[in-house]
Chain A
Amino acid sequence: MMRSITRASAITVAGGLFFAVLPLVATSFGEEYFISLFSRILIYAIAAVSLDLLIGYGGMISLGHAAYVGLGAYVVGILYQHSYEGQPLFGLLPGSENALVVWPLAVLIAAVFALVIGSLCLRTSGMHFIMITLAFAQMLYYFFVGLEQYGGDDGLSIFSRNQMPVLDLNSDIQFYYLCLFFLVIYLIFVHRLVHSRFGLVIRGANSNNRRIQAIGIHSYRYRLVCFAIAGAGGGLAGALLANQTEFVSPGLLNWTLSGELMVMVLLGGLGSLFGPVLGATIFLLLEEVLAMYTEHWMVYLGPFLVIVVIFAKHGLFGLLAGRGDRNE
């Protein structure tokens, strides 16, 4: 038992060091492209960790998590456009390019949507829950596709990143470290959450919902809050992603992204904290590398995924850290 905990910690520390020094190493080799690539990885990692909170710890298999990423991104995009064009939103609210205004708003709006959608979805369970989370996410996807004034299907470009005091987010290196900062903060937050009283209730409800009700806990409320917290994490990732790519499109709400996030969580290992980070890294690196060899790399990824699911259930973090159980 002890050995696997230390192995897990060792991997986490190693990973942390790797991410910390990456930009410096990349710059010294003249390969600035990696900074941008790994910024994306860090952002997807935040989204994957938030999904892992739902699936790995809470047992709520949401196939619509991309919706919250997309919402966060659109908050950034829409407010940017209104600020750029000088037209207030709904005639009342001025647009904004200030990260300190826009990003908390993105997180908040994503959380509110998660709360509303979750309140409906969590009345169901099992196969119903999976399908309903997917359906609501697609609803939002079609909603954004229909918004012609924000680009509709073609999406919305923002011409520079949001502004922040002290930092210049248009510098790739500064933006990278900001993303790393957010990832670390989010990981710490989720780590504390999972071991707190709230987290224990969520894990217990996942393990045995009937029993939780029998000891007097109304698990629906806790799950709803958990769903909202995960949605908030997704929203943060979305806001960062909009800044990173300087482009927002409905594709961010599409279920293929939800599926990819799930794959990242699986690859890394469910119910672990650093696992999703590892999963996001592997998935996106694989995408980069394989795309160089063949544009049809998905035809290999599909069966690979099937094989991993059938034979290697606990993901790579589980394999590396030597845990046989889905335990914390």
Chain B
Amino acid sequence: MNDCILQVRDLSKSYGAVMASRKLCFDIRRGEVHALIGPNGAGKTTAVNQLSGEILPDSGSILFDGHEIARMPPHRRARLGLAGSFQITSIFENLTVEENLALAIIAHNGHNFRFWRNCLRTPLVRKELPDALARIDLDKRAGIPASYLSHGEKRQLEVGMALTCKPKLLMLDEPMAGMGPGGTVEMSKLIRRLKGNISILLVEHDMDAVFSLADRITVLVYGECVAHGTPDEIRHNPTVRSAYLGEG
């Protein structure tokens, strides 16, 4: 029981007649990279949004590190250690790279009604910012407005922000989307560096990345879990093969 950081039970969500999530059940073990895959329209993003708190499920439970979070608002889940990156890159475009990270750092440290001292020079930020920048390899780009970054760098920044709160579970929703091969390599390296220290839920379409990075995989089809297992098991699972490749 205790070696699971996340336990999803019977999670269901419907939009009118469409059941986006049907009694989803899966577990994520501590320290593992767990991938969530499925064909388009399988309900992966709906599932992740229910985990992050963007949308509330109709029924079911989400046990995170022992806490029931199914109906908790997003900022409280964040404080419990659940962090995510959005499917559409969501950073603070008007702020510089280091300001983005600094904001994430101060978000997790009490109130911020501090009006005088330059944020970047406060002890907390001075201590944590260099590591935060180094983790995502953006030290050389610290002073640049985030809007000037390349798409891949923006996604790295997003992950970097999620990491500053030292989350217990990091949810990455299609981190490789829209990236060229160079970006994909960098992102995979980053994920591999993080493995073991934190648990990661990876939602991805890029199968090469999924099979090389994931410890275990859950497959979703039409909002339902149809398979769980290691990459090898999934590769040979007939249900999965037919879902992706059609009959036969």
Contacts and interface: CB of A to CB of B under 8 A. Distances in A.
Direct touch of chains A and B (CB < 8 A): yes
Nearest to B116: A192
A207 B119 contact: no
Contacts of B145: 325, 327
Contact of B107 (A1, A196, A216): A216
A207 B93 contact: yes
A233 interface: no
Contacts of B106: 197, 200-201
Given A196-B117, A198-B113, A216 B103 contact: no
B103 A200 contact: yes
B95 A207 contact: yes
Contact of A198 (B76, B90, B107, B115): B115
Between B86, B102, B115, the greatest number of chain A beta carbons within 10 A of the residue's beta carbon is seen for B115
A213 interface: yes
Given A214-B74, A215-B161, A207 B114 contact: no
Secondary structure of the A contact surface, majority rule: helix
Given A204-B95, A216-B78, A197 B122 contact: yes
B104 interface: yes
A210 B90 contact: yes
Interface string A203-226: 110111011111111100010010
A193 interface: yes
Interface residues of A, number: 29
Given A197-B112, A215-B104, A204 B92 contact: yes
B230 interface: no
Contacts of A199: 115, 119
Contacts of A203: 92, 94-95, 99
A128 interface: no
B119 A197 contact: yes
Given A198-B113, A207-B95, A215-B107, A192 B90 contact: no
B160 interface: no
A287 B217 CA distance: 70
Nearest to A325: B145
Interface in A150-203: 192-193, 195-201, 203
B52 A200 contact: no
A210 B76 CA distance: 14
B133 to A, nearest CB: 16
Contacts of A204: 92, 95, 99, 103
Interface string B59-96: 00000000000000011101100001010001111110
A326 interface: yes
B165 interface: yes
A327 B94 contact: yes
Contacts of A211: 86, 90-92
A277 B112 CA distance: 29
B108 interface: yes
B242 interface: no
A225 to B, nearest CB: 7
B118 interface: yes
A84 B79 CA distance: 57
A214 B52 contact: yes
Interface string B158-189: 00010001000000000000000000000000
22 contacts: A1-B143, A195-B118, A196-B116, A197-B117, A198-B114, A198-B115, A200-B95, A200-B103, A200-B119, A207-B93, A208-B92, A210-B90, A211-B91, A211-B92, A214-B75, A214-B84, A216-B108, A216-B165, A225-B113, A325-B147, A327-B94, A327-B145
Interface of A: 1, 192-193, 195-201, 203-204, 206-208, 210-218, 222, 225, 325-327
Interface of B: 52, 74-76, 78-79, 84, 86, 90-95, 99, 102-104, 106-108, 112-120, 122, 143, 145, 147, 161, 165
